[in-house]
Amino acid sequence: MCSGRLKKEFAPILFLLLLTIIAFYRPLFLGENYLPADLLQYLYPWKNELKEKPQYWNPSGTDVLQSFYPSLTFFRRSLRHGEVPMWNPDQSSGEPFAGNCVNGVFYPLNTLLLLLFTPGKMLGLLAALHVL
Q: Is the pLDDT of residue 2 over 70?
A: no
pLDDT number for residue 65? 76
pLDDT top residue among 112 and 37:
112
Q: What is the pTM of this model?
A: 0.76
pLDDT number for residue 83? 93
pLDDT number for residue 58? 67
20 within 8 A of 128, measured Cβ to Cβ: yes
> Which phi-psi region, left, alpha or beta, contains residue 3 (left: φ > 0; alpha: ψ -120 to 50)?
alpha
Q: Is the pLDDT of residue 63 over 60?
A: yes
Question: What does the alpha-carbon distance between residue 123 and residue 91 come to, in Å, rounded to a whole number?
Answer: 20
Q: Is the pLDDT of residue 1 over 70?
A: no
Residue-wise pLDDT for 11-60, tens only, equals 888 999 999 999 888 888 887 777 777 677 777 777 777 667 666 666 66
When mean pLDDT is compared over 35-49, 57-71, 111-125, the highest value belongs to 111-125
Residue-wise pLDDT for 77-110, tens only, equals 999 999 999 999 988 889 999 998 889 999 999 9
SS3 content of the chain, % helix, strand, coil (to 5): 65, 5, 35
pLDDT number for residue 97? 94
